[in-house]
Amino acid sequence: MTEPGDLEEQAGAGVPDNFRRLWTPHRMAYIKGENKPSGSGPGDGCPFCQIPKMKDEDGLIVARGEAVYAVLNLYPYTSGHLMVVPYRHVADYADLDGPETAGLAEFTKRALTALRKASGAQGFNVGMNLGSVAGAGIAAHLHQHVVPRWGGDTNFMPVVGQTRVLPQLLRDTRDMLAEAWPAS
């Protein structure tokens, strides 16, 4: 097992924190195909169609709008990695209708505000991977990533203890972001 001291030997990427070790195996499971839909249709186990049917706490939903919702990524690149997702099972951004387009833009703005307020994020990566060749994990149902960044990429929401397991980290993060989510 890699110890924090080992990670600190890495050059050029700031001082790593202990969360990296918690998350990397989780992301590896995703890359290996667990929880992947069996096909491209909405009934093929598409997680973005299933999540809105769950309670917010269970689905890690931060906020629900009319046409879109915001949810924490179960396989985050950084803490607080949010996704803004239309309820409708649609693959191509060009196929979004007016309310979906407006909702996606508005919820992206609110996600930035909530992340700044809850975590002090200093920057963001925002965008979509459209199509599996472009790197989309779930290509059949588009989703906008909002990934908070901090100087050195070492930071994490400071109230969250480093020894807790990932599911609890995600629930705590969801609670904080839901509370910080602007009403308008």
Nearer to Zn ion, 88 or 116 (CB): 88
What b-and-e string marks burial along 39-63, b requiring 16 or more CB atoms within 10 Å of the CB?
A: eeebeeebbbbebeeeebeebbbbb
User: Which chain residues interact with Zn ion by CB under 5 A?
Assistant: 42, 46, 48-49, 89, 141
Three-class SS of residue 144?
Answer: strand
CB of 141 to Zn ion, least distance (A): 3
Nearer to Zn ion, 49 or 104 (CB): 49
Which residues lie below 8 Å from residue 66, measured CB to CB, with a gap of 6+?
99, 103
CA distances from 172 to 165, 168, 178 (A): 11, 6, 10
CB of 80 to Zn ion, least distance (A): 23
Is residue 92 within 8 A of residue 101, CB to CB? The reply is: no
CB of 46 to Zn ion, least distance (A): 3
Nearer to Zn ion, 22 or 91 (CB): 91
Q: Which residues are catalytic?
A: 143
